[in-house]
Structures are given as structure tokens and as C-alpha cells.
Amino acid sequence: MVIIVKGSIHDRGVEDLLKWIEAKNIKVMVQEGVQKTIFGLIGDTTALDIDAIKSFSAVEDVKRIQEPYKKANRKMHMKDTVINVGGYKIGGGNFQIIAGPCSVESKEQICSIAKAVKKAGANLMRGGAFKPRTSPYAFQGLKAEGIEYLKEAKKITGMPIVTELMSLSDLDCFNDVDVIQVGARNMQNFSMLKELGKCNKPILLKRGLANTIEELLMSAEYIMAGGNDNVILCERGIRTFEQATRNTLDISAIPVLKEKTHLPIIVDPSHASGISSLVEPLALAAVAAGADGLIIEVHNNPSCALCDGAQSLDIPSFEKLAGKIFKVRECMLSFKNAL
Ligand code: PEP
Ligand code: MN
């Protein structure tokens, strides 16, 4: 439920309303505007009588929110959420490129790729240390050692680390990680989401292989319900009947999510396509559709990569792509400014 209130939170009438609601065991998210204040009510509001709320003189309007996600809902929080990762902002007009290999393979590999992608314009680095692989016989990642190498690369480049948590039992290794990635396969691991709700690190939540937009938002809601509002959503392609690409990039998820939520949305064109030649068109399309960032797999020698070489860009291709991404961004901003 959303209550639009006349005046400021410090006004007597508004304070009385707040106390009245909170006495009913309902939490209130307060958003203060210049002339109006918005109360977003979280909890079981079914027993709340709209007419009783309207009887408070401070109340201008009351609306029930139909969607099952509340904290992630744009109706509860009109302004875009901006997530600050080590000084690099994502969302609310701020755009970032996260780049790096699918997996951390060695200290030298992650450090050299991090330096190269930073020079090309990426501000955050990715690299999997704990890898979710379809085959138990495939390379599973360097695990804790991989995290140590990411930390080395951060020391050299200053780039914040984005890496995937596959199991809560590994959480102790993530103390120095800047953004914890919840992979597609764990999007509905509700015990993991609840636990991540208790930490205050940004969470990069990837859409599940066969999950709807509403399910993605409900997973974000799990994290937020625990008290962690730093959620970045990631569209990374979904499984469809199409076989030409590894997944099908749901480009419409970007504008749909922009309407439904205030959380930032980034796009992963690498896992969406599975083919390096398709990464560029999908990345540019995502920028044009309004994405707040991109996460792109880059390898110094894709043909020798231990994981996802076929979809990884080499350094020169990433450099070219980064230049084009910034041009499309400029173009989009000029359209916005012209309106
Ligand atoms: C990854 O980013 O390395 C990864 C495994 O992605 P996803 O969970 O989207 O498949
Ligand atoms: Mn990968």
C-alpha cells in the first residue's frame, strides 16, 4: 500500500499517521519530496481500512499495490536507486562496464586482463572463482585461491571485484569482494537470498535460466526484505526454443524492469549469446534499450580459456566495443537532453 501525504514528515498530522500505522505492526518506507511525502507500507496491510487512513487530514491519496514485490516496486520508491561500488555508481543515469574473464585462471591472467579492460574503459572487474559448471568433470574454478588473485588484481588496478557466490558455505571467502554475484542457477536459492539480505554489500542478481521478470523481482525482494537494498538486476538471456544462441536475450526486460522497479538493470551479452561475434550487437542494443551497465566476458586468449572461450572477447575486440558503447551512451543522452 502507498499513502501520499501532504507536507513533511515533521508535521504533526503526518507524525500522528506514522505512529498509527506503526502501531499496527506495519513498516513504513518514507520518501520525502518537496511538497509531498510518500509512505510505502510493508507488511500485512489487508486489515487496514482505507477510509480510516483517508480520515487523517494529512492524507492526499491511498493506493493498494497489487504486485507481490513491495520494496523493489517503483510505486513504493519513485526515484532510481543508485548503487555505489567503490566510488563507481550504477543506476539513476550512471552507467558502468564490468569486464573480465569467465573464470580466474591464474594471478597473471586476471591481473593482465584487469589492466587491459580498465584501460579500455571498464571500471569494475569480473572473474569467477567458484564456477557453476554443467559437467562435474569441467574446471570448477580456483575457489578461495581465485579470490586471492582477484584481490591482487584490485590492488594493481583499483577495480572493485564482482564474483559469484555458489554456496553460503563459501561466504567467509567473500569479505573483500565488492559485489557478490548470485548466478542464474541460484536466483531462487531462497536461503542464500535471505542470508545476503543480512549483509550490506551490493548483490548482482542474475535472472534465472527460465524465470519470469516477476520471479526475478521476487528474488530481489527476498534480499531487500532482509534489509539489503543494494540489488543490481542482470538480464543474461533466458532459455527459449531457439537453438541459434546459447540463450535468448530478453531485450524487452530492460524497459519492462525500468517501469516496474527502481533497481538498476545491467545486461550480460556474453552468456545471453554464447558467441563472441554476437556480443557487440547485443551489448549496443542493451545500451540503446536503457541498461545501466554491461557485464562482459573478456579473455587474453579466448581459444585457451578454461571456461566460456567461445563467448569471450579478446582484448582488441573489447577495446573496440567499449568505444562503441560510449558512443551509443552519448547518443542516448543527447536524445534525452533534446526532449
Ligand atoms: C557467469 O557470470 O560466469 C555465469 C555463470 O553466469 P550465469 O549465472 O548468468 O550463467
Ligand atoms: Mn561464463
Q: What is the CATH number of the domain that holds 191?
A: 3.20.20.70
- How many Å apart are CA 123 and CA 329, to the nearest integer? 16
Same domain flag for 114 and 223:
yes
Whole-number CA gyration radius for the chain: 21
CATH at residue 38: 3.30.70.1140
- Kindly state whether residue 157 falls inside one of the protein's structural domains: yes
Nearest to 221 by CA among 164, 170, 179, 261: 261
The confidence score (pLDDT) of residue 203 equals: 98
Same domain flag for 27 and 157:
no
- Kindly state whether residue 75 falls inside one of the protein's structural domains: no
The confidence score (pLDDT) of residue 204 equals: 99
Same domain flag for 248 and 301:
yes
When the pLDDT of each residue in the chain is averaged and rounded to a whole number, the result is 96
- How many Å apart are CA 248 and CA 237, to the nearest integer? 5
Range of weakest confidence among 43-47, 128-132, 165-169, 331-335: 43-47
Domain extent at residue 13: 2-63
Helix (H, G, I), strand (E, B) or coil at 317: helix
Ramachandran assignment for 25, one of left (phi > 0), alpha (psi -120 to 50 degrees), beta (any other): left
Same domain flag for 45 and 176:
no
- Kindly state whether residue 8 falls inside one of the protein's structural domains: yes
Chain-centre distance of CA 212, in angstroms? 16
The confidence score (pLDDT) of residue 54 equals: 94
- Residue 13's pLDDT band, with cuts at 50, 70 and 90, is confident
Same domain flag for 102 and 142:
yes
**Ligand 1 atom closest to Cα of 126?**
2
Helix (H, G, I), strand (E, B) or coil at 293: strand
Q: Are 197 and 225 in contact (CB under 8 A)?
A: yes
- Kindly state whether residue 204 falls inside one of the protein's structural domains: yes
- Kindly state whether residue 76 falls inside one of the protein's structural domains: no
Ligand nearest to the backbone CA of 267:
1
Domains held by the chain: number: 2
**Ligand 1 atom closest to Cα of 184?**
8
Helix (H, G, I), strand (E, B) or coil at 289: coil
Same domain flag for 208 and 123:
yes
- Kindly state whether residue 155 falls inside one of the protein's structural domains: yes
Q: Are 150 and 163 in contact (CB under 8 A)?
A: yes
The confidence score (pLDDT) of residue 246 equals: 98
Q: Whose CA is nearest to atom 10 of ligand 1?
A: 184
The residue behind cell 534499450 is 289
- Kindly state whether residue 68 falls inside one of the protein's structural domains: no
Q: Give the tens place of pLDDT for each residue, 63-73.
A: 999 899 999 99
Q: Is 339 exposed, middle or buried (0-12, 13-18, 19+ CB in 10 A)?
A: exposed
Q: Which of 139, 234, 236, 247 to mutate to test the pocket of ligand 1 (most atoms within 8 A of CB)?
A: 236
* Stated pTM of the model: 0.95
pLDDT at 34 over 80: no
- Kindly state whether residue 74 falls inside one of the protein's structural domains: no
In a 13 Å sphere around the CA of 67, the CA atoms on its Cβ side amount to: 19
Pocket of ligand 1 (CB under 6 A): 102, 128, 132, 164, 183-185, 206, 236, 268, 271
